[in-house]
Amino acid sequence: GAGVSQSPSNKVTEKGKDVELRCDPISGHTALYWYRQSLGQGLEFLIYFQGNSAPDKSGLPSDRFSAERTGGSVSTLTIQRTQQEDSAVYLCASSVPGSDTQYFGPGTRLTVL
Amino acid sequence: AQSVSQHNHHVILSEAASLELGCNYSYGGTVNLFWYVQYPGQHLQLLLKYFSGDPLVKGIKGFEAEFIKSKFSFNLRKPSVQWSDTAEYFCAVNAYNAGNNRKLIWGLGTSLAVNP
């Protein structure tokens, strides 16, 4: 079956612009996660959705970052007024209810010039 | 705060050598433990996991890991590596908090290069 998909695969933007990153989880997966993978920094948790609600937003680095999920499926991560330090690979993962095994998408590589 | 430590950042081995990658975590409560692998140009995929029961777990491609609760460790092993094992390996821990969040706490990863 289809895995987690993310778009775009690559995004180059100028400092100060807004960007939107999209995640399509595996069908039936109610939990959705966003992570950021920076060079040499490992994976950093950003936000967790259960259905359309986000019980844990503790990893969002600043108020320039926001995310939403609609219909219990697609999620969008928005970064406003991008900065060079936002450059990273943004990963999305999903899991079935009650499971701790997360399935990852291919990521979106964001480069802020 | 919960954390995961991977001791080896870069490992270089020859084919047929044995592999052990260290992983330690800091959390005194119930944990689920994972090893994920990221092959060059591919996305993260689950290698193996421990939830409960036998502390020696076996994963794909001949990998295994042992959970030692007293040492807060979950080391990854493989008796004989192959060139195709060249990848980045990540240890991750799910530590249950009051909100029952299932977020994973990650180590920084270990880059493994296997020379043919």
Mean pLDDT of B31-47: 92
pLDDT of residue B52: 87
For chain A, the C-alpha Rg in angstroms (whole number) is 13
Position A30, amino acid: T
From residue A98, give the alpha-carbon distance in Å to each of A81, B97, B100.
Answer: 36, 15, 10
Best mutation site among A4, A96, A100 for testing chain B: the one with the most B CBs within 10 Å? A100
Residue B102 to residue A99: CA distance in whole angstroms: 9
What tokens were used for A29?
A: 């997966």
Contact partners, residue B90, CB within 8 Å, separation at least 6? A42, A43, B6, B35, B36, B37, B38, B44, B106, B107, B109, B110
pLDDT of residue B109: 93
Question: Between residues 29 and 88 of chain A, which touch chain B (CB distance below 8 Å)?
Answer: 31, 33, 35, 40-45, 48, 55-56, 59
Task: With cut-offs at 50, 70 and 90, classify the pLDDT of residue A42.
Answer: confident
Mean pLDDT of B4-8: 91
Q: Is B2 on the interface with A (CB under 8 A)?
A: no
Mean pLDDT of A61-68: 95
- For residue B98, is pLDDT > 50? no
In this complex, which of A42, A105, A107 lies closest to B106 when CB atoms are compared? A42
Residues A10-26 have pLDDT tens digits of 999 999 999 999 999 99
In this complex, which of A42, A102, A106 lies closest to B107 when CB atoms are compared? A42
Residue B2 to residue A77: CA distance in whole angstroms: 25
Average pLDDT, chain A: 92
